[in-house]
Amino acid sequence: MRQAYACLFYIVMNFFKEINKENLSWALYDWANSAYATTVLAVFFPVFFSEFWSRGAEASITTARIGIANSLIGVILMIIAPVLGTMSDISGSKKKYLMIATAGGAISTAGLYFIGGGEWAAALLFYSVSSVCFSTGIIFYDALLSSVAGKQKYNMVSSFGYALGYLGGGVLLAVNIFMTLKPQMFGLISGSEAVRLSFVAVAVWWLVFSIPLFLFVKEKRGDTDKEKISLRIRKSFIQILDTFTHIREIRNVYLFLIAYWLYIDGVDTIIRMAMDFGLSIGLERNSLITALLITQFVGFPAALFTGLIFKGKSGARKGIFLTIFAYFLITIFGSMMQKEYHFYILAITVGLVQGGIQALSRSYFAAIIPEAKSGEFFGFYNMIGKFAVILGPLFIAVTGLTLRNFGFSSGAASRGGVLSVSVFFILGGIIFYMSGRDKQG
């Protein structure tokens, strides 16, 4: 155990030798908004929606309500992500757009506290607004990477951000879970009140830890002018069409985006379907939440280690290949999972590679795109990520239903659905290899 702590201390200290105040201020936004990803998206909103806001409804109706809301959110983000990214490039003020998204996300998240039992439509409205703000904020945040780090530090700074995100999201989630288990210690009446207060805690956490970015990150500005919003939107559509028209000139970026769409689809599907799959094989809800916490805290040192080991664009390529292969093995292991401790092994393994594949993908993409169009390109990057959220779970569902219709048992069909996710990693790895063979890559 001492050796493990010494190794973690060594990794952290080596990171801080390379990290300056601007890098840290930028990365703290990951610490800030990851509280929303863990407490709201992953755990409390789905559970509380079912037990409080949609109480009395059949399980299938509750699932449909959340599913439709998430699909609509995905469609909205697919439409607006490239436009907002391009507008931020034109205006030369990504920080301003990020500030608006952060404020909107925090306010709508805190608003969940005031929604009463049975008011499922209002809960979904506030959730949808906060989710859209959360995702659009990531576009501007990612695009600021080139303002805080040179290309040689992209991998390290990007990994540092993801590492802080895992740690920050995990810390607040642990506090919120403890608050729901022991509400009286916090002067609260019940666990239900504690869950509602957790949404306010996320909003405050998100706002407070975003402040360093807005104070200390100096944005690289292009030629800016004070144009009307309508003119900026018109220009953004023109630039987007121009990007599509000249896509052959940036073929390495185009191929990478296809590869990213495939393998990140697999990653996101595992993240979103793990809890449902765990419940389907009889695991307790508390065990699943514990597994999520394990993934968060393992992800912190793992993401830091990734940034130290894989440096530069070539290092990022090697790291992405390695993590794609690791995820391929994870899907095979997941499809054979039988016991509770298997799920914990899976949680640890995912924690080791999840932050790495996300951080290296972001830094690699930043290294191969024009800096002047970082907002526009990261708009496409995030749009593809949102499209993956729609496709992956659907692929599992169709595969499972098909196997069921062919006479397989329910358990075998579910495992076949999990195994089918490996296709995304196989195809993603092949196309990612092809993108590196391009002369411009």
User: What is the pTM assigned to this prediction?
Assistant: 0.76
* Per-residue pLDDT at 359 exceeds 90: no
4 assigned to some structural domain = no
Q: CA-to-CA distance for 3 and 337, rounded, in angstroms?
A: 30
28 assigned to some structural domain = yes
What six digits make up the tokens of 222?
A: 């292009």
Query: What pLDDT score does 244 carry?
Result: 65
Mean pLDDT of 169-180: 92
140 assigned to some structural domain = yes
Query: What pLDDT score does 55 carry?
Result: 85
297 assigned to some structural domain = yes
345 assigned to some structural domain = yes
12 assigned to some structural domain = no
5 assigned to some structural domain = no
Q: Which residue has the higher pLDDT, 376 or 105?
A: 105
* HSE value, Cβ hemisphere, 13 Å, CA-based, for 364: 27
* Per-residue pLDDT at 64 exceeds 70: no
CATH no. for residue 414?
1.20.1250.20
7 assigned to some structural domain = no
Query: What pLDDT score does 343 carry?
Result: 83
Whose CA is closest to 36, among 118, 102, 119? 102
Q: How many domains does the chain have?
A: 1
Task: Residue 210: give the domain boundaries.
Answer: 18-217+232-437
Whose CA is closest to 101, among 144, 47, 148? 144
How many Cβ atoms sit within 10 Å of the Cβ of residue 178?
13
Residue 111: alpha-carbon gap to chain centroid: 22
Query: What pLDDT, in 10s, does the model give residues 328-356?
Result: 999 898 888 777 788 888 889 988 898 88
Query: What pLDDT score does 441 carry?
Result: 39
Query: What pLDDT, in 10s, does the model give residues 230-256?
Result: 666 666 667 667 766 655 667 788 899
What six digits make up the tokens of 397?
A: 């569902």
